[in-house]
Structure 1
Amino acid sequence: MIPSRALVAFLLGLLISGCASLPGHVERIESTALSNTDETRLAKAVRPGTSAHPGKSGIHPLPVAEDAFAARIVLTQLADRSLDLQYYIWHGDTTGQLLWEAIWKAAERGVRVRLLLDDANTGGLDPTLAALDAHPNIEIRLFNPFANRGFRAGDFATDFARVNRRMHNKSFTADNQVSIVGGRNVGDEYYGANMEVGFQDLDVMAIGPVVREVSREFDLFWNSASAYPAASMLPPADSDSAARLREKWDQVHKSPEAQRYIEAVRQTPLLRQLAGNQVDFEWTTARVIHDNPAKVLDRTDRKDLQMLPLLTEALGKPQNELDLVSPYFVPGQGGTKTLTTLARNGIKVRVLTNSMSATDVSPVHAGYSKYRKELLQSGVTLYELKPGIAVPPPDRDDDKSRGLPGSGSRASSAASLHAKTFAVDRNRIFVGSFNLDPRSAHLNTEMGVIIDSPALAGRLAQQLDMAIPKAAYQVRLKPDGGMEWIDRTPQGETIHTTEPGSGALKRGWINFLEILPIEWML
């Protein structure tokens, strides 16, 4: 049979594009976070709190989607000297464009902007990134970039071992005075602007000493060998590129969807609290932990480059309880052994992850499902978030412990868990980008903050006590050794004997994926 012309063209394109390579010599001008920011507006705003709590960091959780976006916009507007932004994903949708416009306006008034983006999800954005990078006060670097800008499959075909490793970190720092760290990327699904798809996520806003740690982490990645100046990878912007950006932003502001979202953000109490310097911070000790950026270039799985041992040490050995929230939960044999040993020794271990019908990555669910029975047999409690469930946040003047971690204010038809948070003994809690899976442990780089906070850790435990059993299926063993899913609703309990909301075809696909040797990639 003669191959189709489309196949021939594809193979020819793959062959040609596979010849592309990264620049051999790249000039990287080293830069670090600005330290002389004590007279900025943000420094003056946080000074009363930091002065009254020497050595402590102020932590404010951002579980509500619109609050998380409002915080970033306000920090961008208030920044006087610098913005350091590090993200795995930055979409060119409504919220992505609004944030780009905000940092452009900051740059126009003299703010130095450093934007470090992982290159895995920048497809189609090269003209926008080049136009932003052309601004004299904006510098963009692409982490572990694709040599083939138009046909990325070429890199996967010829340089898979490298491009399979990504920078999954997320941080946002203004004037080296205020940072936001957590699970949210930049895109409508993370900030409640998409009614079709929505992620339930969690960030924390921090002030005090921990901000300097976030800045050191950013500098380490910014100056690393894997961070390529955008100008070394992208075609130069033309003379009309800035005008096209402004035209695009004007179009965004005119769209009814953006207008509704902007108004919703304006109505968030957090926006008023930020404007009036009335944000309620918890003052405690906090520390940043992160992978070494050299991890993406390493092929030996060196533990000294990895964050997981630091995370385990920082959280400490549980004495009573371990609560884990991970949208992509693939414990593997080692993790399963650790959790089952804890449970058999009397430690209360609870896990919240996505159900088959809620997950956005089927292979990950296949990687998780093969360990369910072993976990359940040892006494681990498993909850799987129901599809489309976005528990409305409680009254903003009330205790937020009744909402899910990362609750959005509006439900979407395909809501999915995206928060990554772990708590030990209702005393210490981690919030960051790390998933409990092999990819986070061995392939991607990650970061997060460990917080000594009975209030925040206790809130997660209360959610697992009260809200989550109603918003998630509880997986349970049957007397015959099979599994069942308990669906608790106001009308009572329903017991499912197969994965709820899934058809035979999807279950068969998951069963097939379980036998493939792909767990190391998940």
Structure 2
Amino acid sequence: MGILLKSAVRLTALALLLSIGSCATLPKDYAREPSHAWDRPQETKLGRALAPAATQHPGMSGFHLLGNGMDAFVARMALAEAAERTLDLQYYIFHGDLTGKLILDSLVRAADRGVRVRLLIDDTAAKGRDAVLAAIASHPQIEVRVFNPSAGRSSASWLFSAAADFDRINHRMHNKMFVADNEAGVVGGRNIGDEYFGAREGVNFADMDLLAVGPAVQDLSRSFDEFWNSEWAYPIEALHKGKPDPAAMEKGRELLAAHRSAAQDTDYAKRLRDSDLLQRLEGRELPLVWAPARIVYDRPGKAGSEGRPADDLKLGPQLKAAAAEPRSDLLISSPYFIPGERGVASFKHLREKGVRIRIVTNSFAGNDVALVHSGYAKYRKDLLKLGVELYELKPTLAAAPEKDRERFGSSGASLHAKAFIVDRERVFVGSLNLDPRSLDLNTELGFVVESNELADMLARQFDELIRPAYAYRLELEPSDGDLVWISEENGRKVRFTRDPDVGFWRRFSTWFLSFFAPESLL
């Protein structure tokens, strides 16, 4: 009887907490001052510097691949430093760690120069941080908005409010962009945080961004404006209940300056000084690939969809039209990969036409979201039977050469790059994972670029990533059709008959939890 009573008390407490969360509401009809991208980018310092090359490539945009985490950080810092008029940032995650604080410091210093800064973050990055964000937004040149926020604003109440309003809160803004003066920007898989820029001790992400200049950036800015001015983007002032503290911004500025000074002596800062991109930028020798390009993105209204969203809100149909169906070759990098029955059918169609398909994703041990792996694992045999070539990134680069480990900033790696290459003619780089969450729930963003040169560059990085030092190659055992993982150690071929480097408890807990996580939510 005591156990039953305790259970009843716990359930009652949970119901009360959920009811408290459901009572919290978002402010209605809060005034949103509309704003738009700077409309004369050609008049800025960036615009004038790029004008000669742009004139030689009318209608085209310039691109530079950012495969190295340190280079990706340098690119963002350089854009913040170069901006004269505007900085627009849109991110799913924005950590307050070494690199996150340095980027935030660069935004504040830009605002101090008179640059208008618009920071749009998903509520995932905002929960429990309203006071800090409100202090930042107290700067007259900085605005902060939060996409699709929960009504509960503390970390605890956020959880219960999200549970009470799950269908809405389950939609997240996964877009990632950093744009200066509507003239140059970065798009790709990286959020803001140490693990994305090779600065973390332990595991860092193997990721990919594109630095872009020209007309494609103006299209990028239009997508930002659409999100910024939408009903789903709430000014932080509408969410923060406290009164503005005039001293908070000044105190924050002092803390950021102290952080900047202390960061100069870190190992990461020392490695940054040797960054290839930094040296190229200082020498004004950054190579750009000029090519036609198109931005593809989900509309902000996708966040309000019930069930599968309408096609006119989705990135998918735009991407299919822009990238076209492969004729001979398809390379895919997707850290979270769940093809589903529709995806398997699409791959079957392509294989019947003779298209070679190679896919790299995370191994079980390397995946930071184990449940997603359970959604992917059940399709591996079907894909291999079709002749799809599967590779899984190893969780450690300890066996790789030192120069290769330096690419990731540590001896650990987890795939985070979202890219594909079609017929060595067209590439997609962006935030989209090939899983149900990206396709049907979250909003996503990316570039489709028509360029043999860029496709070859990205394909070389793909080939590097699937080397035996980095990745397992999956095969089916001829005798019984079971999965095997092929690798090399000390120059010798090694075979594994189950997911490598995964212990019993991780296997069991993931298997057990998979019964409670529908594939549509992964």
- The TM-score bracket by the shorter chain reads over 0.9
Shift of 1:109: 0.9
User: What are the within-5 Å matches in structure 2 for residues 460-475 of structure 1?
Assistant: 460-465=458-463, 467-470=465-468, 471-475=470-474
Partner of 1:428: 426
Partners of 2:130 and 2:239 within 8 A in 1: no
Shift of 1:381: 0.5
Deviates more, 1:71-80 or 1:39-48: 39-48
Distance of 1:449 and 1:390 partners within structure 2:
33
Distance of 2:314 and 2:401 partners within structure 1:
35
Q: Structure 2: which 5+ runs fail to align?
A: none
Distance of 2:119 and 2:152 partners within structure 1:
21
Partner of 1:398: none
Residue from 268, 285, 291 that aligns with 2:298? 291
Partners of 1:56 and 1:209 within 8 A in 2: yes
Deviates more, 1:339-348 or 1:319-328: 339-348
User: What are the within-5 Å matches in structure 2 for residues 295-334 of structure 1?
Assistant: 295-300=302-307, 301-334=309-342
* Between structures 1 and 2, the one with greater helix share: 2
User: What are the within-5 Å matches in structure 2 for residues 87-166 of structure 1?
Assistant: 87-150=91-154, 151-166=157-172
Q: Are 2:36 and 1:32 equivalent residues in the alignment?
A: yes
Q: Are 2:422 and 1:415 equivalent residues in the alignment?
A: no
User: What are the within-5 Å matches in structure 2 for residues 98-497 of structure 1?
Assistant: 98-150=102-154, 151-234=157-240, 235-253=242-260, 255=262, 259-300=266-307, 301-389=309-397, 409-465=407-463, 467-470=465-468, 471-479=470-478, 480-497=480-497
Distance of 2:215 and 2:463 partners within structure 1:
33
Q: Cα–Cα, structure 1 residues 392 and 35, in superposed 2: closer, same or farther, change >3 Å?
A: farther
Shift of 1:488: 2.3
Deviates more, 1:155-164 or 1:339-348: 339-348
State the AA in 2 paired with 1:156.
A
Q: CA RMSD in A?
A: 2.2
Partners of 1:130 and 1:236 within 8 A in 2: no
Partners of 1:120 and 1:146 within 8 A in 2: no
Distance of 1:126 and 1:351 partners within structure 2:
40
State the AA in 2 paired with 1:365.
H
Shift of 1:514: 4.4
Deviates more, 1:424-433 or 1:275-284: 275-284
For residue 179 of structure 1, give the secondary structure of its aligned residue in structure 2: strand
Q: Cα–Cα, structure 1 residues 289 and 222, in superposed 2: closer, same or farther, change >3 Å?
A: same
Deviates more, 1:202-211 or 1:295-304: 295-304
Distance of 1:409 and 1:149 partners within structure 2:
38
Partner of 1:399: none
Shift of 1:455: 2.0
For residues 308-358 of structure 1, give each alpha carbon's deviation from its aligned partner in whole angstroms, at most 9, with x where no partner exists: 111122111111111110000000110111112212331101110000000
For residue 268 of structure 2, give the secondary structure of its aligned residue in structure 1: helix
For residues 85-134 of structure 1, give each alpha carbon's deviation from its aligned partner in whole angstroms, at most 9, with x where no partner exists: 11111011111111111110110110011111011222332222111111
Distance of 1:96 and 1:7 partners within structure 2:
40
Q: Cα–Cα, structure 1 residues 410 and 375, in superposed 2: closer, same or farther, change >3 Å?
A: closer
State the AA in 1 paired with 2:508.
G
For residue 277 of structure 1, give the secondary structure of its aligned residue in structure 2: coil
For residues 416-457 of structure 1, give each alpha carbon's deviation from its aligned partner in whole angstroms, at most 9, with x where no partner exists: 000000111111100000000000100000000001121222
For residues 66-95 of structure 1, give each alpha carbon's deviation from its aligned partner in whole angstroms, at most 9, with x where no partner exists: 111111111101111000111111011111
State the AA in 2 paired with 1:182.
G
Distance of 1:476 and 1:202 partners within structure 2:
27
Distance of 2:275 and 2:409 partners within structure 1:
17
**How many pairs are equivalent?**
512
For residue 152 of structure 1, give the secondary structure of its aligned residue in structure 2: helix
Partners of 1:390 and 1:412 within 8 A in 2: no
TM-score by length of 1: 0.93
State the AA in 2 paired with 1:135.
H
Partners of 2:399 and 2:489 within 8 A in 1: no
For residue 222 of structure 2, give the secondary structure of its aligned residue in structure 1: helix
Distance of 2:400 and 2:218 partners within structure 1:
34
Q: Cα–Cα, structure 1 residues 6 and 70, in superposed 2: closer, same or farther, change >3 Å?
A: farther
Residue from 6, 20, 24 that aligns with 1:20? 24
Partners of 1:383 and 1:469 within 8 A in 2: no
Partner of 1:78: 82
Q: Are 2:497 and 1:520 equivalent residues in the alignment?
A: no
Partners of 2:184 and 2:211 within 8 A in 1: yes
Partners of 2:206 and 2:415 within 8 A in 1: yes
State the AA in 2 paired with 1:104.
V
Distance of 1:351 and 1:143 partners within structure 2:
32
Distance of 2:375 and 2:357 partners within structure 1:
20
Partners of 1:325 and 1:352 within 8 A in 2: yes
Distance of 1:169 and 1:393 partners within structure 2:
34
Deviates more, 1:230-239 or 1:213-222: 230-239
Q: Are 2:2 and 1:3 equivalent residues in the alignment?
A: no
Shift of 1:259: 2.8
Shift of 1:468: 1.0
User: What are the within-5 Å matches in structure 2 for residues 505-516 of structure 1?
Assistant: 505-516=505-516
Partners of 1:321 and 1:424 within 8 A in 2: yes
Deviates more, 1:477-486 or 1:498-507: 498-507
Identical aligned residues as a percent: 44
Q: Structure 1: which 5+ runs fail to align?
A: 396-402
Distance of 1:247 and 1:196 partners within structure 2:
30
Partner of 1:400: none
State the AA in 1 paired with 2:493.
E
For residue 179 of structure 2, give the secondary structure of its aligned residue in structure 1: strand
For residue 42 of structure 2, give the secondary structure of its aligned residue in structure 1: coil
Partners of 1:197 and 1:412 within 8 A in 2: yes
Distance of 2:455 and 2:463 partners within structure 1:
12
Deviates more, 1:379-388 or 1:18-27: 18-27
Shift of 1:304: 1.4
Q: Cα–Cα, structure 1 residues 432 and 394, in superposed 2: closer, same or farther, change >3 Å?
A: farther
For residue 225 of structure 1, give the secondary structure of its aligned residue in structure 2: coil
